[in-house]
Structure 1
Amino acid sequence: MEAEARVNEREGIHDSFLQKILPYAELIAAAVSGILIIAGWLLGKNGLEAASVISYLFAFVIGGFAKAKEGIEATIEDKELNVEMLMVFAAIGSAIIGYWAEGAILIFIFAVSGALETYTMNKSHKEISSLMELQPEDALLITSGGDRKVRVSELVVGDAILVKPGERVPADGIIEKGESSIDQAAITGESIPVVKGLRDEVFAGTVNLTGAITVKVSKASNETLFHKIIQLVQSAQSEKSPSQLFIERFEGTYVKVVLAVVALMMVVPHFALGWGWQESFYRGMILLVVASPCALVASIMPATLSAISNGARHGILVKGGVHLENLSNLNAIAFDKTGTLTKGKPEVTEFIIGEGFSESDLLWKAASVENQSNHPLAKAIVAFAKTRFEKNMIQPDKMEDMPGWGIAAEIGGESWKIGKPGFIGEGAAQLGGELAERLAAEGNTLVYISIDGVPAGMLALKDVVREKTMAAIGELANEGVFTVMLTGDSQTTAKAIAAESGVDEYFAECLPEEKVDKLKGLMKRFNTVAMVGDGINDAPALATANVGIAMGEGTDVALETADIVLMKNDLPKIAEAIRLSRRMNRIIKQNVVFSILVIMVLIASNFLQVLDLPYGVIGHEGSTILVILNSLRLLRS
């Protein structure tokens, strides 16, 4: 048994070692190839030609294996020649004419550029692997017979689980017992922990820092927000941008043209310009090297993946390169109001007390009445009252809900009414006077209070604009983006919120289908238009827009429909995403122009017979490495 355990331990160590070095396999192969080239050069200098050629041959095989295998497999699968095959032909051609060192250097630099490209891919995939490592495998299920450990995949909606301090939350759910600070950095990017208690929602992958909490599972393991994030990142990495697709379509035709021109180069100059056969073949080999579009092909994908990775690290999840590319061309952006420009929940903005009434007593008893209701306005009044005093709410002696009007109640023999002015009575209109009129004009909902028929107070409530909304709209204006608000609210409310948030234009009283019509009109005016929303009613507009952007705390439908997701409801991230997109496109253009210029200069130099094979190799492969390194700049914050 001990011997078997030792064998298993050795196998485990071996597997662990392989997993660690596997991401660096191409880089290691390139390094070994470089060492063999140096060895071959030293052997050649000392007159050991046969050993020198063998060393170069090993450099060919070790350095070029990964790319050659990739090229051959892609050629068989797509039935189309590719850049990798051009490199194989160029290396073989160099060896045929006796330029073993140059061919080996070509393979070495090609291997280095391939390793850099793989590094970019791995860096991009790291977001998935690091996220998946945050997903707990087990959960502590609370049952009538006690707590027992189960696999997270076995949890079902409605299960109660215990999450101890220091543990990661294994599933999305609602806190049923306890209070704790939750580190949500993995989900929202927030660096400061959030205090959560009874009835608050927690997400899988977040960390419970302080107290033990009992959580009722609200979503299956494959439907959690955490799981959706992983799917979004995977989707982003597999979807290619229009530029990348164009380059890939162009690559096959270009390779065929290069091979045809190389064949002509080996024959035509001999008869037309009097070159020797060896010179013609030599120039043909150089053309094969320098005309390969390696740098051009590597101009886009590394830059796109780097930009997507950068965005994911900052809480901006992009579902593919096409959406990030579209973002740079954005001319206008439409916002839903509720939950996007505003917080989505009403808050008390003003409390007016009638003459002869006590502020604290009036608010305490009014909140006690509203505490019996689930209406959003009632919840806002209770929340406001709790910020003013710590007394427990009382139970009204009698209460009656009057739908569309308000609440009638009896407290200690007093008859209370809370609701619309028409429900309270004629005297309600006198409360607040001009202030009430101004509050109503600013989009506030006015709730009146009367005791025994006497107007006692008034509360103004409003879905307030987010703290960062004005800053976000200002940043978009600086980027030259026209801003529009689409809302189902009344003209009065829409006008007030539009003025407060700073948008350029607004459309009020819009049904979901009308939002789509307005969006289509904007697309005719501005060509490329984005839509930002968070609700189910925003999904049609999100799907219609050139770029759909969902708020991370929005509904599942909005998250699935949108092209870009802001993991934290942080509107300034939109301008950040636009800047990242424009930076990506700028780097791609730099790469494309640079790589085309290098190819043109090298081809012209070769035709003029001033370019030797070693310099052709360095110029061509060096340009490939440079464009990849240029793309990697996008990984920086």
Structure 2
Amino acid sequence: MTQHKHQHETCNHNHDHNHDHGSCGHNHSKNAVWIFLAGVLAFAIALFAPQKLIANGLFLASIILSGEHVITEGFLDTINSTKKNRKFTPNIHLLMTLAALGAIIIGDFQEAALLILIFAGAHFLEDYVEGKSKRDITNLLNLNPTQARRINEDGTVEVIDASLIKVGDLLQVLNGDQVPTDGVIISGYSSINEASITGESIPSEKSKGDSVFGSTLNGDGTFTMKVTKDSSETVYAKIVQLVNASQDNLTPAASKIKKLEPSYVSLVLILVPIFIILGPTIFSWTWSESFYRGMVFLTVASPCALAASAVPATLAAISNLARQGVLFKGGTYLSMLNDIKVIAFDKTGTLTAGKPVVTDAYFINEDKRQEFLDIIVAMEKATNHPLANAIITHFNVSTVMDIDVNTVVGHGLNADYEGHHYQIGKPDMFESVDESIQESKEKLAHDGKTIVYFAEDGVVQGYIALLDVPNAASKDVVDALKKLGIHTVMITGDSKQTGEAIGRLVGVDEVRGNVLPEQKAELVESLRREHGPIVMIGDGINDAPALVKADVGIAMGQGTDIAIDVADAVLMRNDLNNLVKAIKQSKRLDRIVWENIFFSMFVVVVLVIMNIMGTMDLPLGVVMHEGSTIVVLLNGLRLLKSPK
């Protein structure tokens, strides 16, 4: 399999959302809509005009007003594209313009106006569909902070433009303010709504030492923060980069259709004069009828529905997932999920919570349990190790003790208190251990738990077992992936025994333990050769090379900046359930795009046959052809809704 190349470019944050999504897509201003409506009015008045000359004049006005963008893009875009590509590069608008011109030549002003009117109307609808699909994503851009309150060296507060913020600046954030950029609180307390970053609607309590993110909304408190990141490197800026990339990056099907369109249009332009010339010879038509049939052929053979088959559907699918907290850098990566055969999960912070919790505690002398726990908590407060935080958080103390603790690297904690010497450390620090503790230790180790012993005067009195518990969704997600026929692998730097214990809890097919950070990328390559296209999911700096190497790299939203930066998609809420939703959405997208392609080409074939048989006139051809475009658009729009 050819590995795709990741392109992770820094985006300019003065965003332009007038993306071109193929020749059938437009970006219409409000003025264009009013002009189009004026064309509709002219057409309606022409239907009741007392004289044919006046009616034809109104029909012509309708063509010019409603079809201004069609005619302009038909000729000007063809000329510009031809110059740029150095070969004839026509578009669908040119076909419609020529068909209308042909109808005018043979005196069918009403049919020419109807053709342009319906064609333009269908593309206004397509524009609306694409705009609706983008709205959930581009709404993020409206959250970008514009001002900040900078605290100067003399203590004065100055309101400045957010673009002038520098790393190291002190900023004041008042109640109700938007947090201007990423940083850390140095004084104050507040609750902050971080839904724009994490998708979590419940405000997060923040105080001194806590990180805050740009674009989030401050609650009732006031705090002072220190800026830690340049505005282009904030978490919000990275989300914006994902948004922009997702709108420009098309699925393989959409890209092929876009490349095919000029060739298809060129073929139709070649076939039309041949069709007209052969009409009187083969079908015994008059030259007038043959020319008319040629104009109908020009209309119904247009690939507008085909051009609308993929892009609106892709944008709808990406928009739906964005609303649920899954951001893709483009349709390519979303569509690739349809073919994935294996998913590799980093263990810590992905399949597990990334924070160890106490699961077991045992003491030989249960009568002294609370006394020992008070001493253990007092000792653990002297260190900031993750295990210490878990122990302090888990146990309630009856007596707050002030103990001098000595931390010895590799040997744990030592302390002397009221004539006794206490130790907390790894099991291999202690030689003589009670048999009951030793038996429990072996069982707990088999379950993947980390054990620390507590000793008084050199005698082990008990132990505490901790475990980085599985993410609440992990088991269900892995089961769902298996039902989809996807092989699941957990990658961890922990021992194979610890990894397999977690693996059994979450139900993965395979566990790879003792994997060094630099080996993860090699392992991804190996799994691809063994199983096929692969997804890698991780959250740390050490996962970045593997995320790049995978066919689709997915970062957890609360992971490191570099993981988010190099990934192809981000689970903003750290919710693995959304991974399954994304895969199912990818399969729906693939199915709907192929439905659209087959349907649009089927309609073209049927209309062409009806035209040859003489059972098709221009108004019916226009209605059926543009109707097929509307059906394709509405079918793609289904992806805005999640399946029940």
Q: Same fold (TM over 0.5)?
A: yes
Would you say the 8 A contact 2:137–2:323 is kept in 1? no
Unaligned 5+ segments in structure 1 are 1-20
State the shift of 1:564 in Å. Answer: 1.0
Would you say the 8 A contact 2:137–2:322 is kept in 1? no
Residue matched to 1:74: 77
Equivalent of 1:31, from 37, 60, 63?
37
Paired residues for 1:158-177 under 5 Å: 158-177=168-187
State the shift of 1:295 in Å. Answer: 0.4
Counterpart of 1:327, as a letter, is: L
State the shift of 1:328 in Å. Answer: 1.4
Residue matched to 1:575: 580
State the shift of 1:429 in Å. Answer: 5.0
Would you say the 8 A contact 1:27–1:111 is kept in 2? no
Call closer, same or farther: CA 1:105–1:559 in 2, change over 3 Å: same
Equivalent of 1:151, from 131, 151, 161?
161
State the shift of 1:23 in Å. Answer: 4.7
Residue matched to 1:12: none
Call closer, same or farther: CA 1:56–1:390 in 2, change over 3 Å: farther
Asked if residue 122 in structure 1 is aligned to residue 128 in structure 2, the reply is no
Call closer, same or farther: CA 1:316–1:389 in 2, change over 3 Å: same
CA distance in 1, matches of 2:43, 2:128: 23
Residue matched to 1:365: 375
Asked if residue 339 in structure 1 is aligned to residue 349 in structure 2, the reply is yes
Q: Deviations over 1:116-136 (max 9, x none)?
A: 222233234434542222222
SS of residue paired to 1:488: coil
Residue matched to 1:62: 65
Would you say the 8 A contact 2:28–2:127 is kept in 1? no
Residue matched to 2:532: 527
Counterpart of 2:380, as a letter, is: E
Residue matched to 2:147: 138
Residue matched to 2:362: 352
Unaligned 5+ segments in structure 2 are 1-26, 83-88
CA distance in 2, matches of 1:201, 1:389: 29
Would you say the 8 A contact 1:26–1:111 is kept in 2? no
SS of residue paired to 1:366: helix
Residue matched to 1:506: 511
Residue matched to 1:560: 565
SS of residue paired to 2:437: coil
Residue matched to 1:268: 278
CA distance in 2, matches of 1:99, 1:270: 21
CA distance in 1, matches of 2:207, 2:156: 23
Residue matched to 1:209: 219
Call closer, same or farther: CA 1:73–1:307 in 2, change over 3 Å: farther
State the shift of 1:598 in Å. Answer: 0.4
Would you say the 8 A contact 1:137–1:170 is kept in 2? yes
Residue matched to 1:85: 94
Would you say the 8 A contact 2:242–2:328 is kept in 1? yes
Paired residues for 1:200-349 under 5 Å: 200-349=210-359
Q: Deviations over 1:575-596 (max 9, x none)?
A: 0001111111111111111101
Residue matched to 1:630: 635
CA distance in 2, matches of 1:39, 1:602: 30
CA distance in 1, matches of 2:495, 2:74: 61
Asked if residue 381 in structure 1 is aligned to residue 395 in structure 2, the reply is no
Call closer, same or farther: CA 1:214–1:414 in 2, change over 3 Å: farther
CA distance in 1, matches of 2:341, 2:331: 19
Residue matched to 1:13: none
State the shift of 1:235 in Å. Answer: 0.6
CA distance in 1, matches of 2:620, 2:589: 30
State the shift of 1:71 in Å. Answer: 3.3
SS of residue paired to 2:302: coil
- Larger CA deviation: 552-561 vs 523-532: 523-532
Q: Deviations over 1:349-370 (max 9, x none)?
A: 1121231653333223222222
CA distance in 1, matches of 2:481, 2:327: 19
State the shift of 1:33 in Å. Answer: 2.3
CA distance in 2, matches of 1:26, 1:313: 30
Call closer, same or farther: CA 1:571–1:128 in 2, change over 3 Å: closer
State the shift of 1:525 in Å. Answer: 3.2
Higher helix share: 1
Would you say the 8 A contact 1:475–1:572 is kept in 2? no
Counterpart of 1:59, as a letter, is: S
Call closer, same or farther: CA 1:71–1:188 in 2, change over 3 Å: farther
State the shift of 1:532 in Å. Answer: 0.7
Would you say the 8 A contact 2:370–2:398 is kept in 1? no
SS of residue paired to 1:343: coil
Q: Deviations over 1:591-619 (max 9, x none)?
A: 11110110000000001111111101111
Would you say the 8 A contact 1:27–1:112 is kept in 2? no
Paired residues for 1:450-469 under 5 Å: 450-469=455-474
Q: Deviations over 1:87-135 (max 9, x none)?
A: 1111111111111111111111111121122223323443454222222
SS of residue paired to 1:358: helix
State the shift of 1:433 in Å. Answer: 4.0
Call closer, same or farther: CA 1:476–1:128 in 2, change over 3 Å: closer
Residue matched to 1:396: 403
Counterpart of 1:282, as a letter, is: Y
Counterpart of 2:443, as a letter, is: R
State the shift of 1:620 in Å. Answer: 0.8
Q: Deviations over 1:29-65 (max 9, x none)?
A: 433322221111111xx2x222211211121112111
SS of residue paired to 1:593: helix
Counterpart of 2:487, as a letter, is: F
- Larger CA deviation: 593-602 vs 153-162: 153-162
State the shift of 1:529 in Å. Answer: 1.6
SS of residue paired to 1:611: coil
CA distance in 2, matches of 1:321, 1:460: 45
Would you say the 8 A contact 1:26–1:114 is kept in 2? no
Would you say the 8 A contact 2:138–2:243 is kept in 1? no
Would you say the 8 A contact 1:431–1:455 is kept in 2? no
User: What percent identity do the matched residue pairs reach?
Assistant: 42
Equivalent of 1:598, from 591, 594, 603?
603
State the shift of 1:279 in Å. Answer: 0.7
CA distance in 2, matches of 1:320, 1:428: 58
TM-score (norm 1): 0.91
Residue matched to 2:116: 107
Would you say the 8 A contact 1:491–1:508 is kept in 2? yes
State the shift of 1:346 in Å. Answer: 1.9
Call closer, same or farther: CA 1:102–1:535 in 2, change over 3 Å: same
SS of residue paired to 1:426: coil
Counterpart of 1:353, as a letter, is: F
